[in-house]
């Protein structure tokens, strides 16, 4: 498995479907880094073009990997070490290409139905298991901008539970999706 | 399915394995309420004996069900409406007994291995599907106190991904567990 995770803060939608850059949420970094460590992702890219947001993410990263946090909680250190902060999805892809010798497949997640493109979890699981490099990307705020969807090679089915309600947080949706596509 | 969820703030362990009452985390209430709604749980009990913490949880609940939040985001309202604040696990059980006409089975979750008691997700899924009333309980802080474990009828296997790392947040662990035991 050569799985990478990306959390996209730009371009994403706000509540009114305008294209924005969202703010870093500390708890998303912690929760998704721990998921990355749990499901053996090779790296967790935090994607934001904003300087101050990159600095914030960097400060969180160094607190838990070199600072007091690293001594306080070594389990957290092991997870946060997977975090890499990059300004764009393209730069995450470049970083993966440099490590893997090939560009990764881009697999996007989306809470709304993209009728023509949606891919089942079973199929996603096969692709990830086939040992192709894959970056699984999650959108913050009201979801990934259409331009990111068009850049993606695949778009996963929305997460459904037992009802038609699909308004989960990105943290909990990422947990369910990772368990489905990368669990044992 | 007659599934209930409980988030226990007392008695739980702190980092040094002392018994404590943990503080309410707003984000846990939101994330787990949305999971409850997604997986058709009938109610989500927030369990804390502390008056000020009960008031805090109540304030969150009314903001999103009656206050500004209810108008701002109706999806959140639908989820937060499932929240009920009770002082103890026993009172959650009593409330379920009053609704269902029978006491629920208590299914505890635990990140550490309880060798003699751990139950598989498959078995848990069968029990939940059998239409017995069940309350699935999650511990905050460093997990459920031993006395709660002893009270439980079942203890679920810890969540494992592809590694032996099992230090997820309660929010993301709850997401994975609910998808495994109550997903389609």
Q: In sequence order, which residues have a C-beta less than 8 Å from that of residue B113 and are 6 or more positions away? A: B158
B101-139: per-residue pLDDT in tens? Answer: 999 999 999 887 666 678 999 999 999 999 899 999 999
| DSSP-assigned letter for residue A144 | B
Q: What angle in degrees, to the nearest 10, is found between the helix axes of B170-182 and A26-38?
A: 50
Task: Please say if the pLDDT value at position A115 is more than 70.
Answer: no
Please tell me the total count of domains within chain A.
1
Distance from CA of A17 to the nearest CA of B (A): 15
Report yes or no: B178 at the A interface, CB cutoff 8 Å. Answer: yes
Distance from CA of A15 to the nearest CA of B (A): 10
Report yes or no: A175 at the B interface, CB cutoff 8 Å. Answer: yes
Report yes or no: B161 at the A interface, CB cutoff 8 Å. Answer: yes
The domain that holds B38 is classified in CATH as 3.40.1280.10
Q: Range with the lowest mean pLDDT among A36-45, A68-77, B86-95?
A: A68-77
CA distance A72 to A109: 34
Structural domain range at position A87: 2-182
Report yes or no: A56 at the B interface, CB cutoff 8 Å. Answer: no
Mean predicted lDDT score pLDDT of chain B: 95
Q: What is the mean pLDDT of residues B43-62?
A: 97
Q: Which residues of B105-119 are buried (b: 16+ CB within 10 A; e: fewer)?
A: bbbbbbbeebeebeb
Predicted confidence at residue B117, as pLDDT, reads: 78
A45-84: per-residue pLDDT in tens? Answer: 999 999 999 999 999 999 999 988 888 889 999 999 999 9
A118-164: per-residue pLDDT in tens? Answer: 899 999 999 999 989 999 999 999 999 999 999 999 999 999 999 99
**Paired strand residues for A118:** A155
Q: CB of A156 within 8 A of CB of A138?
A: no
Q: Is A118 in a helix, a strand, or coil? A: strand
DSSP string, A26-53: HHHHHHHHHHHHHTT-SEEEEE---HHH
Cα nearest neighbour of A162 on chain B? B39
Q: pTM of the full predicted structure?
A: 0.96
């Amino acid at each position: 498995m050569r799985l990478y995770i990306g959390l996209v803060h730009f371009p994403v939608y706000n509540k009114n479907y305008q294209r924005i850059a969202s703010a870093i949420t500390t708890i998303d970094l912690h929760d998704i880094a721990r998921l990355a460590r749990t499901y053996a992702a090779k790296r967790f890219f935090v994607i934001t073009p904003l300087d101050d947001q990159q600095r914030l993410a960097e400060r969180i990263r160094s607190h838990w990997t070199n600072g007091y946090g690293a001594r306080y909680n070594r389990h957290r250190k092991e997870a946060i070490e997977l975090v890499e902060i990059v300004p764009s999805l393209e730069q995450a892809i470049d970083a993966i290409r440099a490590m893997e010798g090939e560009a990764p497949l881009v697999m996007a997640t989306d809470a709304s139905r993209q009728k023509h493109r949606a891919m089942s979890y079973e199929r996603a699981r096969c692709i990830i298991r086939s040992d192709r490099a894959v970056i699984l990307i999650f959108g913050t705020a009201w979801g990934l901008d259409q331009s990111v969807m068009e850049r993606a090679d695949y778009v996963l089915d929305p997460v459904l539970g037992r009802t038609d309600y699909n308004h989960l947080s990105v943290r909990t949706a990422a947990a369910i999706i990772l368990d489905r596509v990368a669990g044992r």
